């Protein structure tokens, strides 16, 4: 059975090229091949689409769209080596996949590893990632999450300035390189999740509004006008993004998508765009007899994003919980400014363990209002937690990782705090060996005015930050180079120790019956704020564990009368982790002990 083809754009499909472009305000639309100046005139169809089936466009041919004689790149292009120049035809179906028997691990079994293609390796390519897959396997990773790969200006960017949502960044290896990477991951038993951005586009190379009303004045977002999901002419815009979702799942075999900042998607339609996307993914799952996940980044603590479609929810499979990170960071002694002011250290962390959402209707001093809804009844596998991620590192002025902000012992404690939770754990690339390189904000725009505006914006953002160091220049190649992981650090003793520690934590998470269990029943968290200690008890069938977390800088006694009857199964202060262990009913400074009872 022939593979389905994308319904919009310029698509080489089963030996011919089918063109279907949405240009509702145009009087005439053509495709220009600059090499021989061939012009292919499109025919007007219903609802603002222009169409043609032709043999004059073949894979790797360059082309422009002529929109009432205005020459533009194609915003639906599958190859866009330069955001201001010609688009290129792709043959998505030429790749020979070998993953037909692949099945993604169950959601509750995922150990996610977030990485940025350009800085994960010295080469900064998909091919170079393939060479590191065995390292990730040995660590215990079974899912990688790629930061956005949609084409952006230049060859270095976080990815959140993408302007061609269907084109894979050429400097990473373009669409063929991404297909090779996903196939290689599946052969090794690693799932691939792709970060996609459906709430805004970058400022340079964004030609969408030349083609139609892709944006609306009805709402504003932190990046300007909102994408038009519910205003006049929105049907084609919704189709554009639904087709984008299906492209990644169907033609790149992605196992799931991480949807960036869905709280910034403005849509008051009777059927929210996320719900419609979910319907299409469910239908695709049924057709393929495989599972594909949708994981949302959401800052609203609104359970509607996780509720089933039948209950008028948006049915996302999981969402990130930044609140867990914030509570953990404050517990570790991090600053309490900005949104961190809402968090009271270990009492907030205990609530995050217990209730998922820290703010579930409580008053938020930072927001100056009651905020959030209850997560009661939602399993732990519906939430993703972390001690670091690209935002929480990169949005700092200097892009410092935990390795630069916290002691070695505190880093171990923070890591364990993630893995003992009933939620899905996620690592940020390099944290497993306490990587020293920062992860700073970087761009490679070509518009001088825009470069200046971004540079000044970063300086203004951190103007109140007291530091002897300057804000790193986002445009400077040195900022990008400084953000690359230094793999040679793995030859140094302390980094080797941290890597071994993470491997042990992940193994415990994957094999222990309690920590494998993402059900939140049988979980109790108690914060002893006076002593800066947190007690977390969890159980599964006949096995019970007690986790004691000491966030203080002093050795303390464990105040549990049953502790002598428990078996100690993990101690972050063990000598093999370069620590200083103490007696069974004591805990070292800045450490975690895990005890087990079979009852």
Q: Hey, which residues does 193 pair with through a beta bridge?
A: 145, 256
Task: Confirm or deny that 325 is annotated as ligand binding.
Answer: yes
Q: Known binder of ligand: residue 323?
A: yes
What does the alpha-carbon distance between residue 58 and residue 88 come to, in Å, rounded to a whole number? 9
**Which among 48, 51, 46, 41 is positioned nearest to 19, based on CA atoms?**
51
Annotated binding residue 20: no
Bridge partners for 258 per DSSP: 195, 295
Angle between helices 493-511 and 408-419 (to 10 degrees): 20
**SS3 state of residue 583:** coil
265 vs 229: CA distance, rounded Å: 8
| Residue 40 φ/ψ region, left for φ over 0, alpha for ψ in the -120 to 50 degree band, beta for the rest | beta
| 251 annotated ligand binder | no
> 230 among the known binding-site residues?
no
Provide long-range contacts, Cβ within 8 A and 24+ apart, for 550-554.
Answer: 550/413, 550/587, 550/588, 550/589, 550/590, 550/591, 550/592, 551/331, 551/332, 551/333, 551/345, 551/346, 551/413, 551/590, 552/589, 552/590, 553/589, 553/590, 554/589
Tell me the three-class secondary structure of 326-379, residue by residue.
HHHHHHCCCCCCHHHHHCCCHHHHHHHHHHCCCCCCEEECCCCEEECCCCCCCC
DSSP letter string over 486-554? -GGGGGSHHHHHHHHHHHHHHHHHHH-HHHH----TT-EEEEETTTTEEEEEEEETTEEEEEEEE-SSS
The dihedrals phi and psi of 407, each to the nearest 5 degrees, come to -65, 165
Residue 292 annotated as part of some ligand binding site: no
- Any catalytic annotation for residue 449? no
Cβ-Cβ contacts under 8 Å for 399 (sequence gap 6 or more): 393, 438, 439, 440, 441, 472, 483
Q: How far apart are alpha carbons 240 and 242 in whole angstroms? A: 6
**Residue 324 among known ligand-binding residues:** yes
Residue 336 to residue 344: CA distance in whole angstroms: 9
Exposed/middle/buried for residue 24 (C-beta within 10 Å: 0-12, 13-18, 19+): middle
Whether the Cβ atoms of residue 540 and residue 512 lie closer than 8 Å to each other? no
Of residues 204, 260, 267, 489, which has the active-site annotation? 260
297 in catalytic set: yes
Q: Is 233 among the annotated ligand-binding positions?
A: no
Chain-centroid distance, C-alpha 36: 42
**Beta-bridge partner residues of 427:** 113
Radius of gyration of the CA atoms of the chain, in A: 25
> Using CA atoms, how far apart are residues 288 and 279, in angstroms rounded to an integer?
14
262 is in an annotated binding site: yes
**391 annotated to bind ligand:** yes
Say if residue 276 carries a ligand binding annotation. Answer: no
542: left (phi over 0), alpha (psi -120 to 50) or beta: alpha
Instruction: Please tell me whether 394 is known to bind a ligand.
Output: yes
Is 395 annotated in a binding site? The answer is yes
Name the one residue in this structure whose structure tokens are 């009651």. 370
Q: Is 186 annotated as a binding residue?
A: no
Copy the structure tokens of residue 544.
């019970």
Q: Is 259 annotated as a binding residue?
A: yes
C-alpha dist (Å) from residue 397 to 69, 243, 402:
45, 37, 14
Task: Find out whether 390 is annotated in a ligand binding site.
Answer: yes
How would you classify the pairing of strands 191-196 and 362-364?
unpaired
Among 61, 243, 267, 297, the active-site one is: 297
200 annotated ligand-binding residue: no
Task: Specify binding-site residues.
Answer: 258-263, 322-326, 390-395
Active site positions, annotated = 260, 297
Residue positions forming the annotated binding site for substrate: 258-263, 322-326, 390-395
């Amino acid at each position: 059975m022939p593979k389905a083809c994308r319904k919009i754009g310029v698509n080489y499909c089963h030996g011919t090229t089918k063109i279907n472009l949405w240009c509702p305000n145009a009087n005439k639309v053509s495709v220009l091949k600059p090499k021989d100046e061939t012009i292919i005139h499109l025919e007007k169809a219903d609802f603002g689409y222009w169409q043609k089936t032709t043999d004059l466009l073949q894979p790797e041919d360059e082309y422009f769209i002529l929109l009432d004689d205005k020459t533009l790149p194609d915003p639906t292009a599958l190859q866009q080596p330069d955001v201001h120049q010609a688009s290129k035809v792709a043959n998505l179906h030429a790749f020979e996949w070998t993953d037909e028997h692949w099945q993604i691990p169950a959601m509750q079994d995922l150990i996610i590893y977030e990485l940025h293609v350009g800085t994960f390796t010295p080469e900064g390519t998909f091919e170079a990632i393939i060479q590191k897959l065995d390292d990730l396997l040995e660590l215990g990773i079974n899912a990688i999450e790629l930061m956005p790969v949609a084409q952006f200006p230049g060859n270095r960017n976080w990815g959140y300035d993408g302007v061609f949502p269907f084109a894979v960044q050429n400097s990473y290896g373009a669409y063929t390189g991404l297909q090779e990477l996903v196939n290689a991951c599946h052969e090794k038993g690693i799932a691939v999740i792709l970060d996609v951005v459906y709430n805004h586009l970058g400022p340079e190379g964004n030609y969408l509004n030349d083609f139609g009303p892709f944006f609306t004045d009805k709402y504003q977002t932190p990046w300007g006008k909102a994408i038009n999901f519910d205003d006049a002419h929105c049907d084609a815009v919704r189709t554009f993004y639904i087709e984008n979702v299906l492209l990644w799942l169907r033609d790149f075999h992605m196992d799931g998508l991480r949807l960036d900042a869905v709280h910034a998607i403005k849509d008051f339609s009777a059927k929210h765009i996320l719900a419609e996307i979910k319907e299409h993914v469910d239908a695709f799952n049924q057709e393929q007899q495989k599972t594909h996940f949708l994981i949302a980044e959401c800052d609203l603590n609104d359970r509607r994003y996780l509720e089933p479609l039948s209950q008028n929810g948006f049915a996302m499979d999981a969402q990130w919980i930044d609140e867990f990170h914030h509570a953990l960071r404050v517990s570790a002694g991090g600053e309490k400014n900005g949104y961190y002011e809402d968090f009271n250290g270990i009492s907030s962390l205990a609530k995050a363990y217990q209730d998922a959402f820290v703010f579930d209707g409580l008053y938020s001093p930072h927001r100056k209002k009651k905020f959030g809804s209850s997560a009661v009844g939602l399993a732990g596998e519906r939430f993703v937690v972390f001690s670091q991620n690209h935002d929480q590192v990169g949005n700092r002025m200097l892009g410092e990782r935990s390795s630069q902000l916290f002691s070695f012992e505190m880093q171990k404690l923070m890591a364990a705090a993630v893995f003992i939770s009933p939620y899905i754990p996620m690592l940020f690339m390099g944290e497993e060996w306490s990587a020293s390189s920062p992860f700073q904000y970087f761009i490679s725009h070509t518009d001088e005015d825009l470069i200046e505006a971004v540079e000044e914006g970063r300086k203004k953002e951190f103007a109140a930050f007291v530091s002897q160091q300057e804000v790193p220049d986002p445009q400077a190649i040195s900022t990008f180079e400084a953000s690359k992981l230094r793999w040679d650090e793995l030859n140094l003793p302390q980094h080797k120790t941290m890597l071994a520690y993470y491997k042990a934590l992940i193994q415990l998470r994957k094999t222990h019956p309690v920590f494998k269990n993402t059900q939140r029943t049988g979980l109790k968290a108690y914060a002893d704020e006076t002593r800066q200690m947190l007690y977390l008890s969890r159980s599964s069938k006949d096995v019970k564990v007690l986790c004691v977390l000491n966030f203080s800088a002093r050795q303390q006694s464990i105040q549990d009368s049953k502790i002598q009857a428990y078996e100690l199964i993990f101690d972050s202060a063990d000598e093999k982790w370069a620590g200083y262990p103490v007696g069974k009913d004591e805990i070292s400074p800045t450490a975690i002990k895990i005890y087990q009872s079979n009852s």
